Each structure stands twice: as structure tokens, then as C-alpha cells.
Structure 1
Amino acid sequence: MSRPAVLFPLFADVETLEGIGPKAAKLLPALGIERPRDFLFTLPYAVIDRRLRASIRDAVLPATVTVEVEVGAHVPARRKGGPVRVFVRDAATEFQLVFFHLKGDYLAKQLPTGQRRIVSGKVEIFDGLAQMVHPDHILRPEEARELAEFEPVYPLTAGVTQKQMARAAGAALMRAPALSEWIDPALLAREGWPGWQAALEAAHQPKGAADCAPEAPARLRLAYDEMFAHQLTLSLARTAFRRGKGRASVGDGHLQGRVRAALPYEPTAAQERAIAEIAADMGCDKRMSRLLQGDVGSGKTLVAFMALLNAVEAGGQGVMMAPTEILARQHFDGLKPLAESAGVTLDILSGRDRGTERAAKLKALAAGQLQVLVGTHAVFQKDVAFHDLRLAIIDEQHRFGVEQRKELGAKGIAADVLVMTATPIPRSLALAQYGDMDVSVLDEKPPGRTPVKTALISSGRYEEVVAHLRQAVAEGRQAYWVCPLVEESELVDLIAAEDRFKTLRAALGEGVVGLVHGQMAPADKDAAMADFVAGRSKVLVATTVIEVGVNVPNASIMVIERAETFGLAQLHQLRGRVGRGAAESTCLMMYQPPLSEAAERRLQILRESEDGFRIAEEDLAMRGAGDLVGTAQSGLPRFRVADLDRQAALMAVAQSDARALLATDPELTGPRGQAARVLLWLMGKDEAIRFIAVG
């Protein structure tokens, strides 16, 4: 299947557009513009009112004003490089035009004394006089028609001018073809959105600031087009994934019963619900694609293990994968007692396994003697073969791409996939990121977890904090000390962590303090963690390596230095490392005064709430989607028009609309389906088209 001919002009070379030469073509990719279609979706972010006024007196200065003037005297610069002034008079008052660094007779030609001109630019009062410095436009009265009443302001990159952007966007608009409508007619009517071409024109030719706002009907419509194309792609991927031959894995519950009997507490209602949802998915012949989302300490491990046992009871194997060796070890340690109570064989495979040890594990795995495997990316290696893989669990999904999910699925004969995340994600982002999956949420905490007391302390009280630690260590307790996030540079983070390690070691004594950071060799990192887990070291100085998943029940103090440099979700994750045992736990957030308003609000929210979902919603409201998950590794789509922060509600509409369309027209062959195909091509969703082709 190839791109429809009607779209060819939009996918031509960008140099085919008016005003774009080879030089500009090389600079435009910095704005994400490589083809004419990209200009359509690079919308102006502001608009300048260039309507002609009688006089600058009508304006509240400073302001951009367009007036017709009579040109008066030219006053040359008093010193070399000084300003040249030209007096002009509009219908009501006199003011000056000011120019710097002019060459030759430019002014005499542009502004001949005694003639009339239209000037447009910013007018300000300077030393009591109204001035327009370097007007944006100088036109003869007969050229007035050339000046647009409202001038769009486009994003720029070095070497590209507003004039070029406006011309090229105008030329791209001329190429936008009439396309059949892909939006559900009832939705279009309800929202009062314009058609596609009309929306593009309105967005590129704003008549005022309101037309540039995310709430403007034309912008909402274009944002919806992007979200709808994204959700269609996810739904097609989901259908293709589930269309792959699935196998029903139905357990008889005998192993799960043993684990339940050994548990010191009853699972929460949320855990029971998630266990049942996963078992139902595994029991049908379509492949499972489910996300298990649970806040810090909500008991995901038990839910995951019950799912793994379901696979084993059905006669197969299960695998659980984590993004780092530290986390994989920890899952292994967490699952070991559960595996022992169930009587199933469990082992771990990591990059550390070599030679005969590795060979023995692989042999047991291929023979089916090893029932549950825990591992890192090492599980993807070519020589790792399962006897009968039924379920693959992936922890902390945002570190794994969709591609790796497919690879893993390919390892087993139609293995079910369960993804886990401990990062509570606001619904709109969960839909954008995981729209192809069903979601189970753990929103209750199991009994036995103590609430964490959170306190804010200014960095001036450092000595008090160290004294508090000395006391805690003497009582046999353990603590984390997290170093600030310095300008996203691992090197600077490292220096900060090493310095803090030295000062704390000097204060608390040799052998008491450990250090772990991202630049260490994996074996050293594991050794430092192992010392802390075993209680040999009492205080662990760390960069944010420990943010996700580290479990040391004896650690009851978390000190976060320069807490104001972290995001809300990150602080919530770090705090979740303590409060895992019976001891009363504290999180001390040290900050450097004075705090900005935003930082103060972030720290206050954390003091008030331990609910990760509430914190995530607040975080989204404060920081925006891109920052929230760090777009580079988040799996969040990069939208050109859609604004996930301000148009979040549209994402849910787009998902249900996409799923509804595919339910009635799975091959997209009906009239609206055909239009939706054109939308997918237009949005560059070529992989979605392949999913249809596969069908």
C-alpha cells in the first residue's frame, strides 16, 4: 500500500515551497520541518495586529502600531554608529523613527522628506518622546494592501526569518487538498469544529490572540486529528498483537492456593480485582496486553507472581524482566519466598552469568525444568530459549520500547504480556502512552505499611540532620541520602554525590556510609547495594539510581538534598523507598531557600498527600506532559499541534472513537474508514498502514 496521490504535494521536497532555498532547507529540520506537510502543522504561537490606525495616540503604549505619516526632517547621527532620527507626523501627533548602523542612502530612498508612507512597528516612550525603532514595515500608501491586518508569528530558528516562514506556510496551505472527513459527524457537530482545510486556514491566519489559544475551535480540531491518528495506530497495533495466535492459559489454582495460605495478610480488594482481570485475559485465546499500574507499595509483586503461577499451573513458563540488574535481583529476592511456598523453580539470568553456570540455566530453561525466570535485557539474547513461555512480565515499561515488547512476544509461542509500572500516570498520559493496552490499577495499600512522615528542612540545618542520622544509626536504623539533580549532567551529579559521601563518612565514621551512582561499574553498584541490603553499611549516599523499586525494609529515613530540584513524581518515588518495614519512617526534604512559588507548591503537595495518583495529576498540571515523563525515553508521542497539558480530555475521546471505528470497520474500507486511512498517511503513521495490511 502506498501513500495516496492526493498527498504527494505535501510530501515533496521542502525546497519546492516558495521562499525556501537550499540554505533554509538545511536549517528547517531544527524546527522539525522537512516536508511541506510539516509547515501545515507548525502553527503560529501569536499574532500581531497590523490594522491601520489614524494616530499613535489611539494606542496604549508601548504597542505595535500601523499609521500613515508624512515624512519630516532627517537628523543625522551625532557620533559614529549613533542613531539617525527621522521626524514623522500622523493625523494627530509627531513622533520619531530611529535607526542604527545604516549604510549609504537607504533612508533618503525609503523615507523622502515631504512624502507619505505607512509605517508599522513597536512604539515606545523614551525620554518623554514617542519613538519607533527600526519599523518592521515601511510602505508607500498604494502598497498598503500588501500588509496583512493580522500577522502570524511563527517559531523561528537561527537563519530563518518570519517572512520566510509566513511565505512557506502560505504556499503549503495552497497545497492542502480537499479531503473526506474522518471525524465522526456527530462529534464534529457537537464540538462545532471546522472542516480540515478551514481549520488549517483559521489556525494560520489568526484574527486575534484567541485564535492562537489551545481552546480555539480550529486548533482543537487539528489537535484531535493528531490524537485520533495516534489512537488509531495504537488500536491497530493492539488488534494486530491480539490477532496473533493466542493460547488460553487456565490455571487450576493449586499453586496460588499455597501462596495464599503462606501469606501473613489478606490481599487487598484492588489486588484481588487485578489478579482476576489478568487471569481472565490469560484464560481467553486472544493475547493479553495489559498494564498493571500501582503506586509505591501497593503490592504489585504479589499480583505479578499470581499471574506467573497461573502460567505454570497451565503447564508453561513465565518470565519477569526489569530494566536494571539491581531491580532484577530485587524482584528475584522478593519472589523467592513466594516461589518456595508454592514449590516452583525460580532463577535469575543476568549479564553476570558466564560459562558453565549460564549454560546450566539455559539448559534447564529449554527443558522446562526452570518454571519462572527473572532477568534483565539479557533475556532477549539469541541463545535464550524457553520450553513453553506463556507469560512475559515487563517491569517499568517506560524503559522498554514497543519494539522490545514485540521481541519478547516473539520468544514465546504467543506469550501473554503484562507490563508493570510503579509510576502513577494521569489518565490522559496513560492513554497516550499505553493506549494499546488494558489497564489494571492498584489504588489501595496492603496492611502493614507505615505512613511516612514528611518534613521540610532548610539546607542551613544540615548539622541537625547529620546529628539525627548519627542517633538513628546508633539505634540500628538505616537511611538513604539522595544527592541533588544537578543540571541533568551525570558528571556533575557524580561530583556532588562523591563530595557528600566524603563529608558524611567523616561525620559518621568509616564503613558506615556507602555510595551508589549511575557511573559505577555494575558489579561495584551491586556490591554497594548488597552491603546496604545486608545492613553492613547504614547510610547509602545515592543519585537517583535508587528511585525505582529498591526494597530495604530496615531503611526508615530518606534525606533528599535540594529537594526543590526534583519533580513531584520523582520525590514521591524516592519517598516510597522508606516505610516498607514496621519502623516509623521519615522523609526529610532539604531545600535551599528562597523557594520559588512552584517549588514551594510541589513540596507542600508532598507533605499533604501520599496518594501517587493525586500527586501525578498535580504534577501534570504544574509541569506539563513533556517534563513529566522526560519525553526522550517516555514512549510519549511528540505532537506538533496537540497540547497534552491543556487538551488532555480529547485523548480519551480519541481513544473511544478510534476503537469504535475499528469495531465497525476493522479493515477501514468504508467511507469514513477510507478517510481515516488518508489521515494515517498524512500524519506519517506508515506503521499503522502496515498493521491493516497484515490483517
Structure 2
Amino acid sequence: MSTRPEILYPLFADLETLGGVGPKTARSFAALGIEKPRDLLFSLPYSGVDRQFRASVLEVDPPATATVEVTVNRHFPPRGPGAPYKVEVTDALTSFHLVFFHANDRWLDANLPVGEKRIVSGKVESFDGILQIVHPDHIVPPADAGRIPDFEPVYHLASGITQRLMLKAIGEVLTRVPPLAEWIDPALKAREHWPDWHDAVRASHSPEGMDELSHSHPLRRRLAYDEFFAHQLTLAIARLQVRRGKGRVSIATGELQRKVLEGLPYAPTNAQTRAVTEITADMGSGLRMNRLLQGDVGAGKTLVGFLALLVAVEAGGQGVMMAPTGILAQQHLEGLRPLAELAGVRVEILTSRDKGRERAEKLAALARCDIQILVGTHSVFQKDVHFQDLRLAIVDEQHRFGVTQRMELGAKGDASDVLVMTATPIPRSLALAQYGDMDVSVLDEKPPGRIPITTAMVQTGRLDQVVERLRAALAEGRQAYWVCPLVEESETMDMVAAEERFKQLRAALGEGAVGLVHGQMTPSEKDAAMRAFQRGETGVLVATTVIEVGVDVPNASIMVIERAEHFGLAQLHQLRGRVGRGKAASTCLLLYQAPLTETGQRRLEIMRETEDGFRIAEEDLEMRGAGDLIGTAQSGLPRFQVGDLEHQAGLMAVAQKDARLLLEQDPGLESARGAAARVLLWLMRQDEAIRLISVG
């Protein structure tokens, strides 16, 4: 079934098929991300107005909404241009005014005739001691009182879309909602007391009170679960595709790993040992490995990655480790060389710097399997790069790589295994949403002997003291980073730009003592500045956040982050992780401008309290929400319309388990529940998953 099922046609028709929606209104709806009738179904109300009937406006505390029956006493037309039109009315207990600006007298006479009764509903306010309702939301004869709901849902609107139009459009789409066969596991549905899908959709658009709008209400949880389940089903199908591709069995004797471990001056942590065991088992299983190795800054991912590469080498094959930049690739090489010497294997680097004869020789050695481990950048994707027998590909810093690149890399070898390493601790719910197609190993311990980093908050007014402190550190032969938030002067945010700060520090500390690196520089300029700092030629490196990822300078023991309150927690944690890599005690100074907002204060205090990246990630999620976590837009994190990863994190884990189980039992989605799940995939626009299953 690779075409959309007929039962869903009405929900995927054009918006203009809805009454009252023309091309112009359709464009306004598009601003809300609503392009088809099905999108209206998932645009749920975010709030509501209590319009329960009351005897008098005196029963509410202004400003508040009231719905009351009134008798119309008299009309007061405006006294002059711009003045309002007022109508005096009386309810069961008091008199008050209905107020209209730019009013149409004839319309008011017709709708509010003197002496007649009317039901009015609107926001009651007090003005000059008199209660009033300005532009009531509803004015109806008592016979039509039923037209005013007790609780009226409130929707997100855009220019050109009124509340009334939204209600009308949604009302019409709800008449098109067909009962669909159930895709949720019956036991789960019963346990959670979830309604059927079409009942949940209808009830969500006609809530009876505020509690029905909360994330924890069964209606919302049911619809959120449908989104999460469709997403996890898509990831599970992608995972099945990878595994269905015949894997290689890479079995190691453990001899090379033993040589490396015996030569190390320390013992690996339990977390490292556990991760190596999981990876080794995957590589020997005959199914293609697709695993994420998630570790905090300094948790020792490189060692785990190298021990995994040795499994490929011992099995007679080759491995590749990829980094996003030439500098990081070079750094990986420097980290791996001593380990490779212990194991007696040949490791080489391939980047865009390799040209001519040198490149040709490397490629020939790679094709002969003389080079057993290759470190490189995107260059290893190039057509002329051939491995004799690539068994393991390791990708560093996941957020630069989407699902597509993961698959591309796997295609370089004959069914090679893929291991992705990330130094960004991710809350569990986000990890499941983003990497649900992968199996996950977590490094949650630090290797012994790492000295904690002292983190302090310093007001920008004490800048001179910070510079003096740097001067003293440089005199002792130590190095420091100074991170600035913006590159060019911006009037809107009075942050001192990197170039300005560079000039000031150079004037204070000496011409050759300070280097500069920022995003506007060419790659070769950045490289030169970074290398000078790595070699110790410059003592202070002024930088924008380009240094966040992975740069390793053990001698750097001070990190100054200017206007730290403007950074996200995850980013602050990544930046702090650039120091504390050597023998010296390290310091991170968070420079902030007073007064801090409550959130800014909380963020900097968390940084001061803990170095645990996983705790920081969870706090970050709680404070900022999934949508705002660093770079989610670029990182392939899906946008959910109903589901909320902060408040419904547990549902994502259930969805992953259930999706994998369904596919294990019914890989082609042929059973009754499988067929219902296909309809869900179409409903949730997961066409890619359907294509994969049809191909499979």
C-alpha cells in the first residue's frame, strides 16, 4: 500500500474545500503551519474561556468572563467623535454597561432592542466604578442560549484568522473524521483508559474545562502517543532496513584490546568496559550495528571508539573514524597514535589537505589494507576513496550528521557497522526522539584522576580583575580561552564583539599573546589560529562558540565566558569542558551583566553546582523546552503538534518499545493492527517509512 488510503482523502483535501476558506484565508492558515484539513485536527486549543451561566456580573471578580441574562434599559449614542456607544442593561442583581466603539446604530437597535431580554457573554471590567463589557463575544435571544458553550476553547491565531473562523473550520473538519481501526496495543489502551482516536480528537476540540487541556489528561496523552508511536515506528522501520541488510560477523580474539589496556597508565571505567562489551557483541552478531555512544565531556569516548576499531582490525578488516573538521580529525589522530602503537596497527589521516602524490599513496595503501584505521573528515565520502574491507565506521559529534548520512556512510563498506559518538548529553526523551533508530550506550562516569573545574560567577564590572588574573596565569605558562557571544558590534545587544575584545586584550597582554578565531574567518585562518594556540604560541584565544566542539589543549586551564547569561546550559557545559584536560586545576569564569533574569540566575547557578552533563541536560529541557534546546531545528528532532517531550517523556519510551515489538512480530505490517499502523503513518505524514516498508 504505497498510496494514501481512501479513508484519509477528506483529511488531505485542499483547505479551500472547507466553507469560508478562500485562497487568501488558506495563506493565513499556512502561517500557522496548517496546510490541509488534517492539520486543523492536530491544532488543539491551548486555553479556554469559562462561559457558564451566572445570575449576575457581580458573581465574578473583574477582569473575568461572565455569561448573564439581561434586560435592555436604554441606549446612549456617542457624545462626540471617537466616543463609545453605550447600552445600559440590568441582570438579576445590578445594572452595567455594554460598550461599543465605531458602532453601527442600526445593528445595535436590532440586536439590543429596549425592553427585551438577551443573553450576553464577555469580559467584565470596572471603569470609573461602573461595571462594563466592551464588545461582548456573544449576544443572543434567550431561546438561543444553547449556542453559547459552557466552556469555549481558545486557539492559536494568525493575522486573518479569527477565533470564530477557526471554530467554524475545525467544526467542519470534525464532520470528516472517520472512525479508524485501532493501532494502539489493546492492553496499553485499556491500562491508560484511552478513548478511541476519533472520540479523542472530537473531545479535544470541545473540552469541558481547563483540566482537559493539560498534558496529563487521557485525551491529550492518547493523541500525543499517536504522534510518538508513528515517529518511533518510522525510526524502527529505518532500523529494520539497516539490520535487514546482511551484516558482517566481526569477531575479535581480544588480543589487540588486551595489549592496549595493559599499556594504559589507568584502568577503564565500568561504563567504558560496558560500552565496549555492547559494541563487541553487536559487531559479532551478524546484524548491522547502528549504535550511539553518548558520553559526557571527558568521559573517555575516544578509548571506547578505538577498542571498537580494533575489533574490526582483528577480524581482518578496517575501520574509519570521522570528525566534522580537519582540526578535530588531526586531534583524533594525535589521541589514537599512542594507542595504535601499543596495538601495533597503522593509523593514518585523510583530509582535504592531502593532495597529489601523498594522497595517491594513502589511497593505494588503504585499498591494499596496509592502513587499518583511517581518521578523516567528509573527505572519506569521496568517490576515489576505497577500503579493502571496511567493517566499522565511527562518526564523531552526531549533530552534524542526519539519518541520511548515517546510511551513506554504512554504504561505503559492504554492510559495515556504524557507531556514532556524541559529547552532548541528551535528556532520555530527546535521545529517544532523535536516535530512536539506534541502540544507545551511555558513558556516565568520569575516568579517575580528573580534577574538578572551579566555576565562579563574576559581574562584568570586575573585568579588570579578570584580565589581571589572566596576566598572572600567562606568566606561569598557562593558557586561557575567552569566549564572546557575537562577532560584529550589534546595537540591539550591547555585547562586546570578539574583534573588539581581541584588540583590548592584545593591548593589555601584549601583541603576540592573544589569538582570535570566529565564524566569519576562512577555514585556513581558523586552523592557523587554533594551531598557534595548540602549540602554545598564543596564551589567550579569543573566540566565538566555534571552539565548542572537541578542541583539546591540555595546557588551557582558564575559560572565560562573556555575557554567560545569554548562552544555553548545554552550550555553557560544552564550553567549560574545553578546560580541565590537563594536570593543572582549572577555572571557568561566567561573566554576567547584572541584573540577571530569574532564568539567567538559575542557569548560572546550576553551572556552579554541577559538572554532570546529564543533570544539566535535564535541567535545560525543563527550563527551555524541547523546541529551544540548542540546535534542535538542525538536529533532526521532529516537531510534534500535540506531544510534548518535557511533560510526556515517559510516553516516548513506551512508544519505542511498542513500535519495535510490533515490527518484530509483523515486519511487513500485514496483520490487522499492522494495517491500522500503516494508516497512522499516512495520517502522520510519515510517507518515507511507508516507502521503506513497500521497498522492503
**Could you say which TM-score interval applies, normalised by the shorter chain?**
over 0.9
Alignment partner of 1:233 is 2:234: yes
Cα distance in 1, alignment partners of residues 680 and 221 from structure 2: 16
Cα distance in 1, alignment partners of residues 503 and 108 from structure 2: 67
Report the 3-state secondary structure (helix = DSSP H, G, I; strand = E; otherwise coil) of the residue aligned with 1:138. Answer: strand
Cα deviations by residue, 1:354-397 (Å, 9 ceiling, x for unpaired): 34433333333233222222222222223322222111111111
CA contact 1:388–1:413 (8 Å) conserved in 2 = yes
Alignment partner of 1:667 is 2:675: no
Residues 97-112 of structure 1 mapped to structure 2, 5 A cutoff: 97-102=98-103, 105-112=106-113
Q: Which moved more, 1:77-86 or 1:633-642?
A: 77-86
Cα distance in 1, alignment partners of residues 165 and 365 from structure 2: 66
Among all aligned residue pairs of Structure 1 and Structure 2, give the percentage whose two residues are the same amino acid. Answer: 68
- Partner residue, 1:518: 519
- Partner residue, 2:655: 654
Shift of 1:209: 0.7
Cα distance in 1, alignment partners of residues 235 and 639 from structure 2: 14
Shift of 1:241: 0.5
- Partner residue, 1:84: 85
Q: Which moved more, 1:98-107 or 1:532-541?
A: 98-107
Report the 3-state secondary structure (helix = DSSP H, G, I; strand = E; otherwise coil) of the residue aligned with 1:633. Answer: coil
Amino acid at match of 2:354: D
Cα deviations by residue, 1:463-510 (Å, 9 ceiling, x for unpaired): 111110000001100001111369999998997111111111111110
Aligned residues: 695
- Partner residue, 2:598: 597
Cα deviations by residue, 1:85-107 (Å, 9 ceiling, x for unpaired): 22122222111112223356443
Cα distance in 1, alignment partners of residues 638 and 686 from structure 2: 12
Cα distance in 1, alignment partners of residues 487 and 31 from structure 2: 26
Q: Which moved more, 1:550-559 or 1:423-432?
A: 423-432
Shift of 1:645: 0.6
Alignment partner of 1:307 is 2:308: yes
Q: Which moved more, 1:523-532 or 1:318-327?
A: 318-327
- Partner residue, 1:120: 121
Amino acid at match of 1:464: Q
Cα distance in 1, alignment partners of residues 360 and 637 from structure 2: 38
Shift of 1:282: 0.8
Shift of 1:410: 1.1
Cα deviations by residue, 1:328-375 (Å, 9 ceiling, x for unpaired): 222222222222333322222223333443333333323322222222
- Partner residue, 2:282: 281
Shift of 1:157: 1.2
Shift of 1:461: 1.0
Report the 3-state secondary structure (helix = DSSP H, G, I; strand = E; otherwise coil) of the residue aligned with 1:579. Answer: coil
Shift of 1:170: 1.3
Report the 3-state secondary structure (helix = DSSP H, G, I; strand = E; otherwise coil) of the residue aligned with 2:629. Answer: helix
Alignment partner of 1:19 is 2:20: yes
Residues 40-439 of structure 1 mapped to structure 2, 5 A cutoff: 40-102=41-103, 105-439=106-440
Relative to 1, partners in 2 of residues 1:448 and 1:612: Cα closer, same or farther, differing over 3 Å?
A: same
Relative to 1, partners in 2 of residues 1:461 and 1:293: Cα closer, same or farther, differing over 3 Å?
A: same
Cα distance in 1, alignment partners of residues 428 and 32 from structure 2: 29
- Partner residue, 2:508: 507
Residues 584-623 of structure 1 mapped to structure 2, 5 A cutoff: 584-623=585-624
Amino acid at match of 2:422: T
CA contact 1:485–1:493 (8 Å) conserved in 2 = no
- Partner residue, 2:498: 497
Cα distance in 2, alignment partners of residues 95 and 247 from structure 1: 82
CA contact 1:89–1:95 (8 Å) conserved in 2 = yes
CA contact 1:478–1:538 (8 Å) conserved in 2 = yes
Cα distance in 1, alignment partners of residues 488 and 129 from structure 2: 44
Q: Which runs of 5+ in 2 are unaligned?
A: none
Residues 564-603 of structure 1 mapped to structure 2, 5 A cutoff: 564-603=565-604
- RMSD (Å) for aligned C-alpha atoms: 2.0
Cα distance in 2, alignment partners of residues 163 and 385 from structure 1: 63
- Partner residue, 2:457: 456
Q: Structure 2 length as normaliser, TM-score?
A: 0.96
CA contact 1:69–1:119 (8 Å) conserved in 2 = yes
CA contact 2:485–2:562 (8 Å) conserved in 1 = yes
Cα distance in 2, alignment partners of residues 93 and 474 from structure 1: 81
Q: Which moved more, 1:330-339 or 1:360-369?
A: 360-369
Relative to 1, partners in 2 of residues 1:486 and 1:532: Cα closer, same or farther, differing over 3 Å?
A: closer
CA contact 1:323–1:400 (8 Å) conserved in 2 = no
CA contact 1:490–1:518 (8 Å) conserved in 2 = no
Amino acid at match of 2:459: S
Relative to 1, partners in 2 of residues 1:679 and 1:385: Cα closer, same or farther, differing over 3 Å?
A: same
- Partner residue, 2:480: 479
Cα deviations by residue, 1:50-82 (Å, 9 ceiling, x for unpaired): 233222112222111122222233223333222
CA contact 2:486–2:496 (8 Å) conserved in 1 = no
Alignment partner of 1:682 is 2:678: no
Q: Which moved more, 1:486-495 or 1:172-181?
A: 486-495
Cα distance in 2, alignment partners of residues 357 and 609 from structure 1: 47
Cα distance in 2, alignment partners of residues 88 and 20 from structure 1: 37
Q: Which moved more, 1:170-179 or 1:465-474?
A: 170-179
Shift of 1:611: 1.2
- Partner residue, 2:556: 555
Cα distance in 2, alignment partners of residues 281 and 394 from structure 1: 17
Cα distance in 2, alignment partners of residues 669 and 192 from structure 1: 27
Cα distance in 2, alignment partners of residues 125 and 538 from structure 1: 66
Relative to 1, partners in 2 of residues 1:173 and 1:544: Cα closer, same or farther, differing over 3 Å?
A: same
Cα distance in 2, alignment partners of residues 560 and 420 from structure 1: 26
Cα distance in 2, alignment partners of residues 689 and 591 from structure 1: 50
Relative to 1, partners in 2 of residues 1:260 and 1:452: Cα closer, same or farther, differing over 3 Å?
A: same
Cα distance in 2, alignment partners of residues 498 and 258 from structure 1: 48
Cα distance in 2, alignment partners of residues 112 and 69 from structure 1: 12
Q: Which runs of 5+ in 1 are unaligned?
A: none
CA contact 1:424–1:613 (8 Å) conserved in 2 = yes
Q: Which moved more, 1:680-689 or 1:67-76?
A: 67-76
Q: Structure 1 length as normaliser, TM-score?
A: 0.96
Report the 3-state secondary structure (helix = DSSP H, G, I; strand = E; otherwise coil) of the residue aligned with 1:266. Answer: coil
CA contact 1:214–1:647 (8 Å) conserved in 2 = yes
Relative to 1, partners in 2 of residues 1:493 and 1:542: Cα closer, same or farther, differing over 3 Å?
A: farther
CA contact 2:571–2:630 (8 Å) conserved in 1 = no
